[in-house]
Amino acid sequence: MTANAPATKFAPATANKLAAATTESTAAAPPLEPPLRLLLGPGPSPVHPRVLQALAAPTVGHLDPYYLKLMNEMQQMLRRLFSTTNEMTLAISGTGSAGMEATVVNLIEPGDSMLVCVNGVFGGRMVDVAQRAGARVTKVDRPWGEVFDPSHLKDALALARPKVVGIVMAETSTGAWQPIPEIANLVHDAGALLLVDAVTSLGGVPVEVDRWEIDAIYSGTQKCLSCPPGLAPVSFGPRAMEVVLGRQTRVASWYLDVSMLAKYWGSERVYHHTAPINMTYALYEALRLVHEEGLEHCYARHALNHQALRAGLAAMGITYAAAEGHLLPMLNAVRVPDGVNDAAVRTALLERFGIEIGGGLGDFKGKVWRIGLMGHGSRATSVITFLGALEQILAEQGYKFAHGASLAAANGVYATSSSI
């Protein structure tokens, strides 16, 4: 207020109403007290205490020398995790879906041909994103729970002659683990770029960007990295960046334009947008945890806990929805037993035991449970706690099985394994 501006005055009655309204609005907002959950769904996963602590560190500016140094170090850790030397490796400000959109809109110009492999929800989502970017999309479908091999794509590649082929490595809706190397060879022989969704796979199974010659890839922070949702690690290889920098039209999204983001993440440090500083701290610490453990040890831990869970579920007669030989260790999609109430079981797990698991999506709605053992959640305590709770709830529903069998089977796996 300037020196000559009159002071604002309220009549007593108006002042009383304002005071009452302020008191009422404050009373209407309870304190923040989120419940403590064991997150064993399709994401987010349990956040490591060190990552939560990193979130609470003092905020600095997005061009502060400390933050710029942190970005460099985080890029190096992301490159090691992606197994790549790609210069354009960074964390997009947004969730994994922002990573999907960023890779698609930068590689696709209106009228470009794109082939998308669809065997679940997230392949279908990639189709939607590509169509919105103006692509002429060809879909290749497989039944939910199954994966693609080169024979499924040969004819479509010849007919569509795509600029980009998109495929989901770890289909979160079905628990199917897609092999990449043979598909990559076929795609490149057809003269196309390979775009891979690694949202659920990164940090849980090997992702070899350079060895498999993946041209562009995206992931998320809230799965096997045990970080809150909010950033999307991406990497663009040389062929992909040649396409990005040689575009005839501007990228439809200003916010996700990699040619502009490159100037912020590169040596120029040209301001683009205000980065989520504290989320960067969180991802930085999450990546430190992964590399401290060691990638091979991390992958082995996810595999062991998957094997223990699978043994426990098998002892109760519960089977997997994905094709045998292609089961994801970090996302276990299993069939709801006949006669068991899907929603009632999930509700009881949440309300009585504080355990979250996911229900089925799309074709699997009401038919499948999705049990995540991702990152910090992939532990023996998670497996044993979940199996014990599930046994109790299924027994109450009248489902017949040998009580205690699941725990004995899981513990048998742990007893015969090397220490992880």
pLDDT band for 20, please (50, 70, 90 cuts).
low
Mean pLDDT for the stretch of residues 86-114: 97
Are 288 and 309 in the same domain? no
Could you report the per-residue pLDDT of 147-192, keeping only the tens digit for each? 999 999 999 999 999 999 999 999 999 999 999 999 999 999 999 9
State pLDDT tens for residues 212-266. 999 999 999 999 999 999 999 999 999 999 999 999 999 999 999 999 998 889 8
The pLDDT value given to residue 267: 84
Look at residues 277, 292, 307 and tell me which one is the last residue of a structural domain: 292
| pLDDT tens column, 310-319 | 999 999 999 9
Assigned domain for 94 exists: yes
Q: 217: domain CATH number?
A: 3.40.640.10
Is there a single domain that holds both residue 62 and residue 186?
yes
9 has pLDDT over 80: no
| Span 394-406, pLDDT tens digits | 999 999 999 999 9
328 and 269 within one domain: no
Closest C-alpha to 245, from 267, 265, 261 = 261
Q: What is the pLDDT of residue 420?
A: 63
Tell me the average pLDDT across 269-297: 96
Asked if residue 299 and residue 270 are part of one domain, the reply reads no
* CATH classification at residue 400: 3.90.1150.10
What is this structure's pTM?
A: 0.92
Query: In the listed set 248, 274, 292, which residue is the last one of a domain according to the structure?
Result: 292
Reported confidence tier of residue 26, pLDDT bands at 50, 70, 90: low
Asked whether residue 28 is domain-assigned, the answer is no
Share of the chain above pLDDT 70, in %: 93
In this prediction, residue 416 carries a pLDDT of: 93
In a domain, 14, yes or no: no
pLDDT score, position 1: 45
- Of 238, 257, 292, which residue constitutes the final position of a domain? 292
- Is 96 inside any structural domain? yes
In a domain, 410, yes or no: yes
Please tell me whether residues 171 and 251 are part of one structural domain. yes
Q: Looking at the structure, do residues 379 and 288 belong to the same domain, yes or no?
A: no
Interval 121-131 mean pLDDT: 97
Q: Which domain holds residue 159?
A: 49-292
Instruction: Confirm whether 40 is domain-assigned.
Output: no
Residues 262 and 308 in one domain: no
Query: What's the pLDDT band for 268 if we cut at 50, 70, 90?
Result: confident
Residue 59's pLDDT is what?
Answer: 98
Residue 324 within a domain: yes
Return the pLDDT at 133: 97
Instruction: Verify that 272 and 322 share a domain, yes or no.
Output: no
pLDDT band at 24 (very low <50, low <70, confident <90, very high): low
Shared-domain flag, residues 199 and 187: yes
Nearest to 411 by CA among 381, 370, 374: 381
Statement to judge: residues 288 and 374 lie in one domain: no
Residue 4 confidence (pLDDT): 52
pLDDT at 418 over 50: yes
Q: Region 261-279: what's the mean pLDDT?
A: 91
Query: Residue 12: what pLDDT?
Result: 62
Q: Residues 344-391: pLDDT tens digits? A: 999 999 999 999 999 999 989 999 999 999 999 999 999 999 999 999
pLDDT at 109 over 60: yes
Report how many domains make up the chain: 2
**343 with 271, same domain?**
no
User: Is pLDDT at 287 greater than 60 in this prediction?
Assistant: yes
The mean of the pLDDT values for the chain is: 94
Structure confidence at residue 155 (pLDDT): 95
Does the residue 21 lie in any domain? no
Same domain, 246 and 345: no
